[in-house]
Structure 1
Amino acid sequence: MIDKSIMEDNRQEIQYCFLNNNLSCFKDVKPEVEYVILYMFISSLSVFTVFLNLLVIISISHFKQLHTPTNLLILSLAVADLIVGLIVIPLMGHLFIESCWYFGETFCSLFLFISFMVVSASLGNLVFISVDRYIAVSDPLRYTVRVTTDKVVFCIVINWLCSSIYSIIILYDTMFYPKTQDKCYGDCSVSFKTEHVVTDLIVTFVAPASVIMSIYVKIFCVAKYQAKVVNSVIGVSKSQRKAAKTLGIVVMVYFMCWIPYYIVTLIQGNESTVEFNITCWILYMNSCMNPLIYALFYKWFRISAKHIMTLKIFKPSSQYFSLFPDDK
């Protein structure tokens, strides 16, 4: 009787993603309270990310004063982060909570491609934004000549194209030869070899981080030099403080989101461990932080967001509203 009851308990504890498939993955059964908490967290993160990035997209798209090359880069960044909040976070959250993929191999390949592409595109946008800010600070008189709308659009297209090509290359076996992967039915993950992990580390972390850090250090140095020339008596000028603050925020958030992920990946690989899952979600949360860093610190964003949320954008000629009252 005791052995029989133990066997029945084991059958209840062990569940499969697909009951009628002998190759089905095991389903990780969680307490009901944990399901509720996790779904609330994932839903809140997704809604918050989508909401913030939609505000940025609508603001830049609607108001004529915001149709500038710099804001096009911010728009591209917001689109990448919107896709993360709209597609990646909900589906990755469902996969994490249920531990089963119910949408088929084809959609799994597409989902992994989108996940890698938007994260890479987001990093690329950050690099271009830093380059744009450096040119604006170091050569303000020729900025409008050196940075034009056509050049920025070209850079945005190249960024998304390179991100797509990179994602296809690194996911080639998973996308086109899923049968060769040693996976059970109901799994949607990528197993990288060591050389792929190192390549991904260089392409999506070391290289962008080096460029962004070096550029923002140059921005700080230029701002400090200009502050001495323009206002040597007062000392630390407003532009110097703003450059230092921007550098600190960008570097801190960038590294806080990416360093833990790559440390865990290099040590443990990309196996679904507690540490790996936590660092992945920190990485995805960066898409929620980007609009806060690059948009919420601008006064025009607060004004445009107020117009959007009060539905004033539906008024005639609302696209010509002034978002820079201090310039009058």
Structure 2
Amino acid sequence: MDNSVYENLTVQYCFPDNNASCRKEVRTGPVYIFLFIVLSCISVCTVILNLLVIISISHFKQLHTPTNLLILSLAVADLLVGLIIMPGNIMQLMDSCWYLGKLACFIFPLVTSLSVLASVFSLLFIAVDRYIAVCDPLLYPRKITVCKISLCIILGWSTCVFYNIIFFYFNEHLTPAQLHITCYGECVVVIKHSWLIFDFLLSFVIPFSVILVLYALIFNVARHQAKAFRAVTNGVSNTKESKVSGSSETKAAKKLSFVILVYLICWVPYYLSSLSVENVTTSTMVWIVFGWLMFFNSSMNPIIYAILYQWFRVSVKHIMTCRIFESSSSWFNLISDPV
């Protein structure tokens, strides 16, 4: 093997004392070391950001709203990605071996699929919630309640679990005995092309289409509301108010565009690449490169849906200063408190 500046691969065995052990590729080149550091930082940041969101919404009573419950569900799914999925993929990326045993190899893909799909459906529920809030604000408190949203979250996660059972049953990965393992130290899931197409439709095309339509309708309603506001406040003395309205409309458009752009960048490359091959396994370059890009969406979600809001910045300040350990901290006013 050529020991170049870019990589240095030395072939060893995952379990030297086992005759059925897989060969191990130890990647020690500077590129892999840099990649390990970058991916580890992304994993840690994903865990910290989503954990802060979970603690904030769970602890402070003022944040127990329907919308924030959906953000909490999203943060839980993304936390699983940063806490379990990313480290597992980093381990396999660095030396190609699976050290956690057959049972963990069976569970790991299930958790991966569940958390990614739950994250997608949480984004879908958030879009539906925002659409009702903007397009029917007077009836929103009656239509959307904490109990109804909690039920939707339970049904959503249950649906994801049921889909995973069906998906892995037809891809022969529903029991540890069905694992496609040729040697000791390997953990590979083979996904059939037909199921890739079905998963592409269910996990990307349908949710993204609904999200895109809902956000387009939200922006259209916001634009009409801004025009109505400018018409009412038309006049020299109200020029300032009209400019504020126009600025709000521009900010809304930029935020919605950012949400859609991030979603596309993280998801499109994986599905376009995976659909171009007959079968995808978790050891192929498609999964390693574009799968990580898909996971990166879990790092961006807390930034898009939480960090940009004042209540999150105030709650983080209370968490970092340990004020949440005060007896009355759960009743702090986060909306009007200065950052």
Q: TM-score, normalised by structure 2?
A: 0.87
- Return 313-322 or 194-203, whichever deviates more: 313-322
Measure how far apart 1:170 and its partner are: 1.3
**Conserved? CA contact 1:56–1:78, under 8 Å:** yes
Asked whether 1:253 is paired with 2:252, we answer no
Asked whether 1:267 is paired with 2:276, we answer yes
**C-alpha distance in 2 between matches for 1:227 and 1:270:** 48
AA matched with 1:174: H
**C-alpha distance in 2 between matches for 1:192 and 1:139:** 42
**C-alpha distance in 2 between matches for 1:98 and 1:178:** 25
**C-alpha distance in 1 between matches for 2:334 and 2:176:** 52
Partner residue in 1 for 2:16: 19
Partner residue in 2 for 1:221: 220
AA matched with 1:214: V
Query: Over residues 243-262 of structure 1, what are the superposed CA-to-partner deviations in whole Å (9 max), with x where a residue is unaligned?
Result: 31221011000000000111
Partner residue in 2 for 1:206: 205
Kindly tell me: are residues 242 and 13 of structure 1, through their superposed partners in 2, closer, same or farther at Cα, counting changes over 3 Å?
Answer: closer
Query: Over residues 161-188 of structure 1, what are the superposed CA-to-partner deviations in whole Å (9 max), with x where a residue is unaligned?
Result: 1111111221221132644636433221
Partner residue in 1 for 2:78: 81
Q: TM-score, normalised by structure 1?
A: 0.90
SS in 2 for 1:29: strand
Measure how far apart 1:41 and its partner are: 2.4
**Conserved? CA contact 1:223–1:239, under 8 Å:** no
Alignment of 1:61-80 (within 5 A): 61-80=58-77
Q: Which runs of 5+ in 1 are unaligned?
A: 1-11
Query: Over residues 205-231 of structure 1, what are the superposed CA-to-partner deviations in whole Å (9 max), with x where a residue is unaligned?
Result: 111111110100010111111111122
Measure how far apart 1:123 and its partner are: 0.3
**C-alpha distance in 2 between matches for 1:255 and 1:222:** 23
**C-alpha distance in 1 between matches for 2:28 and 2:95:** 12
Matched-pair identity in %: 47
Query: Over residues 44-79 of structure 1, what are the superposed CA-to-partner deviations in whole Å (9 max), with x where a residue is unaligned?
Result: 122111110111111111111111111000011011
SS in 2 for 1:28: strand
- Return 115-124 or 260-269, whichever deviates more: 260-269
Measure how far apart 1:298 and its partner are: 0.9
**C-alpha distance in 2 between matches for 1:203 and 1:44:** 31
**C-alpha distance in 2 between matches for 1:117 and 1:44:** 23
SS in 1 for 2:249: helix
Aligned length: 316
Partner residue in 1 for 2:304: 293
Kindly tell me: are residues 153 and 27 of structure 1, through their superposed partners in 2, closer, same or farther at Cα, counting changes over 3 Å?
Answer: same
Asked whether 1:39 is paired with 2:36, we answer yes
AA matched with 2:64: H
Query: Over residues 64-123 of structure 1, what are the superposed CA-to-partner deviations in whole Å (9 max), with x where a residue is unaligned?
Result: 111111100001101111111111111121112120111111111111100100000000
SS in 2 for 1:287: helix
Partner residue in 2 for 1:314: 325
Q: CA RMSD in A?
A: 2.1
**Conserved? CA contact 1:264–1:276, under 8 Å:** no
AA matched with 1:299: Q
**C-alpha distance in 2 between matches for 1:325 and 1:79:** 27
Q: Which runs of 5+ in 2 are unaligned?
A: 1-8, 235-241
Alignment of 1:237-248 (within 5 A): 237-248=246-257
**C-alpha distance in 1 between matches for 2:32 and 2:260:** 34
**C-alpha distance in 1 between matches for 2:203 and 2:286:** 20
**Conserved? CA contact 2:274–2:280, under 8 Å:** yes
**C-alpha distance in 2 between matches for 1:211 and 1:320:** 36
Partner residue in 2 for 1:302: 313
**C-alpha distance in 1 between matches for 2:179 and 2:55:** 44
Partner residue in 1 for 2:158: 161
SS in 2 for 1:325: coil
AA matched with 2:201: I
**C-alpha distance in 1 between matches for 2:218 and 2:112:** 31
Query: Over residues 258-291 of structure 1, what are the superposed CA-to-partner deviations in whole Å (9 max), with x where a residue is unaligned?
Result: 0011111112342434454121111111111000
